[in-house]
Amino acid sequence: MNIHEYQAKTLLKSCGMPVPEGHVAHSAAEAKDIARSLPGDVFVVKAQIHAGGRGAGKYVGEPATGGVRLARSVGEVETFACEMIDRTLVTKQTGPEGRLVRKLYVEAGCQIGRELYLSLLVDREKRRLTIVTSQDGGMDIEDVAAKTPERVLTASIDPGMGFQEWQARDLAVRLELRGKQIRQFIQVLRAAYDTFTTYDASLVEINPLVVTKDGDLLALDAKMSFDESAFFRHRDLEDLRDENEEDPREQEAARFGLSYIGLDGTIGCMVNGAGLAMATMDIINAEGEQPANFLDVGGGASREKVAAAFRILLADPKVEGVLVNIFGGIMRCDVIADAVIGASHEVGLKVPLVVRLAGTNVEEGLTMLKESGLPLIVADDLGDAARKIVAAVRSGRKS
């Protein structure tokens, strides 16, 4: 689960992270009142959406640009807020459809001396929490790593020892921080680490972490993601969820306990087991098409759960064909067949459907499919299924 910048800063601040003073606004009038309460006469107005690249973003059908605006008066804060709120902001991470800006974050401005990058994430190869930092803040770290990899610094945290100040001190020196800035960097990294481990985060990113003209470190932007598997320990984090920022298909899938991730392709996939789902997606790619989703119904899904998964697939307007690939161990093939038949009749099957079944009660399942009267295609194995759904989709485009 992702959260907004203002929410991430609240969590980080509670663990000792230095952040600018700011508050969230839901209207231009509220943004103006917040600016009046902040110190100084320079303010930053930020669109709150779950996407990066806000500063270079553009609004659909509007002349105003930029999801991050620098205001030099309270009046400008109100003007910018009017131009930003309730507008659709398009960034390189939102796709062309953009995201509707429902709230803004208004915070006190600062004089920036340098911009650094800092993040904590899980390195799955090393099986350790890893610190990533760079002198090139305010940029996409992927671009920095691709063009100047030597400027990206990393350090792994031993899970038995936890965060060590010497690691922060070493990184601070390599970032060319001096004097009090080294002590502040240790505080910043400690706060990021404590926030990460306290809330079972999967990512804590501060970009940029700035050195002000006064020589102080300040987290100017923040991004956090969480491992939802740990939410039973953090019920309060559920309150930070903004469903307006989430894919409605993923919300529907979550209600039924389905593992679903929407993608950009045209072939919907329903599979039981994460490994089999990945293999199915790979073989569709190998046949020259793209999967529209990752969808794992699990090993022991009920008829209702499978039917819900099928409805989600068919409701996606990008889907030009559906591939059902089930290996029945705990999951029975006749249950899958019954659910697919029921959902197809309920929703209406308007795209090609290829079904590959193997395992428990496979003969019963195949008999049910053949006698259903549905215009579906039965496949013998995964390769056969991928070839058949790709051929059917391409044939549909020509007709």
CA distance 199 to 378: 46
Of the candidates 344, 338, 332, the one whose C-alpha atom is nearest the C-alpha of residue 374 is: 344
Q: Is 233 annotated as a binding residue?
A: no
The residue annotated as part of the active site, out of 6, 59, 117, 193, is 117
CA distance 366 to 297: 19
CA distance 179 to 257: 52
Please count the other Cβ atoms lying within 10 Å of the Cβ belonging to residue 98. 18
Q: Is 361 annotated as a binding residue?
A: no
Q: Is 329 annotated as a binding residue?
A: yes
Of the candidates 293, 292, 308, the one whose C-alpha atom is nearest the C-alpha of residue 257 is: 308
Q: Is 207 annotated as a binding residue?
A: yes
CA distance 281 to 49: 29
Using DSSP, state whether 329 is helix, strand or coil: coil
Of the candidates 259, 235, 273, the one whose C-alpha atom is nearest the C-alpha of residue 308 is: 259
Token representation of residue 247:
């894919």
The residue annotated as part of the active site, out of 5, 30, 205, 289, is 205
Show the DSSP H helices in the chain as ranges: 5-14, 28-37, 74-84, 141-147, 165-174, 180-198, 248-255, 274-286, 303-315, 333-347, 362-370, 382-398
The residues, any chain, with a CB within 8 Å of residue 3's CB and separated by 6 or more, are 50, 224, 225, 226, 240, 241, 242
Q: Is 289 annotated as a binding residue?
A: no
**How, if at all, do strands 201-212 and 112-123 pair?**
antiparallel
CA distance 315 to 317: 6
Using DSSP, state whether 33 is helix, strand or coil: helix
| Whether 225 contacts 2, CB under 8 Å | yes
Q: In degrees to the nearest 10, what's the CA dihedral of 244, 250, 255, 259?
A: -150
Q: Is 179 annotated as a binding residue?
A: no
Q: Is 76 annotated as a binding residue?
A: no
Q: Is 53 annotated as a binding residue?
A: yes
Q: Is 107 annotated as a binding residue?
A: yes
The yes-or-no answer on residue 105 being catalytic is no
Ramachandran quadrant class, 386 (left: phi over 0; alpha: psi -120 to 50; beta: rest): alpha
Token representation of residue 191:
């706060």
The yes-or-no answer on residue 260 being catalytic is no
Q: Is 221 annotated as a binding residue?
A: yes
Q: Is 61 annotated as a binding residue?
A: no
Binding residues for ATP: 46, 53-55, 107, 110, 115
Q: Give catalytic residues, as residue numbers.
A: 117, 205
Binding residues: 46, 53-55, 107, 110, 115, 207, 221, 272, 329-331
Binding residues for Mg(2+): 207, 221
